[in-house]
Amino acid sequence: MVLGSNLRETDTKKADPSAQLNLKNGLFLGNRYESTAAQSDASSPPPPVGEKYEYQAEVSRLMDLIVNSLYSNKEVFLRELISNASDALDKLRFLGVTEPELLKDAVDLDIRIQTDKDNGIVTITDSGIGMTRQELIDCLGTIAQSGTAKFLKALKDSKDAGADNNLIGQFGVGFYSSFLVSDRVVVSTKSPKSDTQYVWEGEANASSYTIREETDPEKLIPRGTRLTLYLKHDDKGFANPERIQKLVKNYSQFVSFPIYTWQEKGYTKEVEVDEEPTEAQKDEQDDKTNKKKKTKTVVERYWDWELTNETQPLWLRNPKEVSTEEYNEFYKKTFNEYLEPLASSHFTTEGEVEFRSVLYVPAVSPTGKDDIVNPKTKNIRLYVKRVFISDDFDGELFPRYLSFVKGVVDSNDLPLNVSREILQESRIVRIMRKRLVRKAFDMILGISMSENREDYEKFWENFGKYLKLGCIEDRENHKRIAPLLRFFSSQSEEEMISLDEYVENMKPDQKDIYYIASDSVTSAKNTPFLEKLIEKDLEVLFLVDPIDEVAVQNLKSYKEKNFVDISKEDLD
């Protein structure tokens, strides 16, 4: 059979592979002329009758586009295939409620990954729903047709449409990510609805595939699917057990089914040492039976399955049941930190957009307090239905000046591109960003209101420059940023004060907030402009950071008090 043959056999609504991908449905856009004609004025004359032609898909070119253009990072192949396996297990678990006979084989619901480092082979096995021969043709023989999408549609149309599900496949191209690293892929699958196990086999550059019955009794499985990837020469490093384990922990750590990887292990034991005794030793050994033999410690190597993932992510737990120690441990482990965070925030947002998140304020800035803010951080780990998508963002979820905030965000609603690598700009993303920013400010405000003043002093030393940048870049959040700012003043040269403290200390008839920009507290204190205000016992803020004056000028006022530069000639 020819790969993608459905593209030639269906009607003209199937599209040219070079057309833009429909991100919502994961299918290629069809003939736009038909859809526009349907909207035309009914009174207009009918278009002239012409011959109808079908789009022709060059399958090898289409495969090349999917494999080499959709994914920017080869290692995501494992994420995609594990997600497919998880979907298959989810389908079986759901269908098993109403069709218990599907679970008649007492097989644990899990995913197992085995590697052959010497031959460059990776095998991924799940005990899920499996596929019949026709499902193999429909799902693997038709590009951009998702079995998960079909299942969800059937679920939606059924009376159980309200049931919760966690299936993430929707585009129907995830399986083909296997060809990112493989020359040849063999899929052996057994559906509980079928008595026969079938084998699908395809190559990266071929325009055809084969399907046959499994006849080797040693390769039969009770139920589920086994993918065998024969890696390309340059990609055989993926057959390293340690690398596979690392990828599972990074991308699929919180998949809701156990993932086992085949790992080499070892244990120590004592063994006797056979030594040839010297002539002198022979003379001394009168009673050899009473002599203890020498031993040494050796490591015995063996291979076994090892549970690699955690199935219950911290952010899905009730915040009341999570201790501070657990939050701190999760932070250190996730972000490879050795210092505990200054603060954390665990919350769930419902309504228009539903997502869960745990955010942290680090103890120190990794770039250094004097460095320019770096917008390209890896501080926010984005998950979609517990599967890690990316930590490489450029301001989609947080503005640049809050790029120091670290955390995880998990949502079922995020609009991703087909490769699930790029967050699409949308109203949902804007709503998420707004709520994440609000929670970040609440967290920072909590530090500022702490009884231990040193906590906020530590925060300000590391991240004060970021908030000043926020005054310049984010007018909408001025009211949240301004209370967090700190300055030295003419009445507080040793300890920085907030704008709230300044306003509280203002004279009854004082209408403005006075400031002077200088290169240090000492030079600000000695400026001649300060003399008359000191005589009147008016407090003046010392703006000693180059960014301070620009930040204050962008704020313009605080609590209806205007900022006034005392060095200006028009000062009253």
Instruction: Mark the binding-site residues, compressed into ranges.
Output: 80, 84, 126, 131, 146-147, 170-175, 225, 420
Sheet of 224-231, strands arranged across: 209-213, 198-203, 182-190, 224-231, 121-126, 111-116, 259-272, 295-307
Quick check: 55 and 12 in contact, CB under 8 A?
Answer: yes
Assigned token pair, 318: 């009730």
419: its two tokens: 């490769």
CB atoms inside a 10 Å sphere around CB 523: 12
Buried b (16+ CB within 10 A) or exposed e, 101-119: ebbeeeeebbbbbbbbbee
Is beta strand 343-349 parallel, antiparallel or unpaired with respect to 406-411?
A: unpaired
Pairing of strands 182-190, 224-231: antiparallel
Known binding-site residues for ATP equal 80, 84, 126, 131, 146-147, 170-175, 225, 420
Which residues are bridge partners to 281 per DSSP?
Answer: none
Residue 238 burial (10 A CB sphere; 0-12, 13-18, 19+): buried
- Tell me the CA distances in angstroms from 78 to 59, 174, 251, 262, 310, one per residue in order: 24, 10, 8, 15, 17
CA torsion through residues 129, 135, 138, 143, sign? positive
Taking the C-alpha atoms of residue 514 and residue 529, their distance in angstroms, rounded to an integer, is: 11
Number of other residues whose CB lies within 10 A of the CB of residue 384: 21
Q: Check if the beta carbon of residue 359 is closer than 8 Å to that of residue 438.
A: no
Do the Cβ atoms of 59 and 204 come closer than 8 Å? no
Report CA Rg, the chain: 33
